[in-house]
Amino acid sequence: MSSAGPAIGFVGIGAMGAPMAGHLAQAGYPLVVFDADPARTRAFAARHSCRVAAALTELGEGSEIVITMLPDGRTVRKVLCGEGDTFKGCVAERLEPGAIVLDMSSSSPIGTRELGALLEGRGIQLVDAPVSGGVKRAVSAELAIMAGGDGGLLEACRPVLAKMGKQIFHAGPLGAGHAVKALNNYVSAAGLVAACEAVIAGRSFGLQPDAVVEILNASTGMNNTTKIKMKPFMLSGAYNAGFSTGLMAKDLRTALELAQAVGAPAPLARHCVELWNEMERRLGPGSDHTEMFRFLENLGENKGNRR
């Protein structure tokens, strides 16, 4: 370990990963980055002190901590373990025993436990540490981080995590962070749908949408969508909050799969998953998740036309 701290490899320099990795570079950590899109790493390196890896194996070589911020657990596993878990052409091919992987993506908790066992066989330790707060809080380094895995490992990584997040929770054993992240996004997505439905119904009744939002925010109906998303991203028509419909739908499916695996009742989750899956089909996975507002508007208009 250098005097500046552990050497960190960061995979995934996207909307969330770029500001997160940027905070680590600004803190002076020896940093090497990789992304499937070379233009992203070039742009990042132009702004920050770091090294760009030409391949995943190069990133793994010399990294003491590897952070993944990728779309899903399947991508994380392929990046770390290679195609078919061959450990060829991947990060873990050249990672030294004792290295730590922090998967900060939104992955399946069941898949995370499988990945942990695979990496453990090579002497590599895994902590799942997904985040909540979106791009805005990634930029301000105020993310909530929910970690699963060995508590001692988490404490060893806490100084690194603290450069990216304001609140760091130990959720439980390996996979617990990914489990609670999926459940959090389910609660968030369900609240988003309820807020959209309420504002659309209120407007149809003759209420001013801004007034509805202000009253909700002063009342018990307040939630993350009414406080943060409704006015700037939905009522404005901007629909650019920075989190895709595809990722939200994926997280909801993970939450439902978790509930079903443990036999927990989840009737609302089933309906919610169906709705987000339909939105993903109609608007495309790359649409912004705040476009649920216009998706529901269009549902109402279509029903009116059928009548």
CA distances to 126, 159, 174, 211, 252 from 100, rounded to whole Å, are 6, 14, 13, 49, 28
Taking a C-beta distance cutoff of 8 angstroms, is the pair 158, 166 a contact? no
C-beta separation of 96 from 122 below 8 A: no
Catalytic site includes residue 181: yes
Q: Which two tokens stand for residue 97?
A: 């025993």
Instruction: Determine which one of 163, 181, 229, 250 is catalytic.
Output: 181
Residues annotated as part of the active site: 181
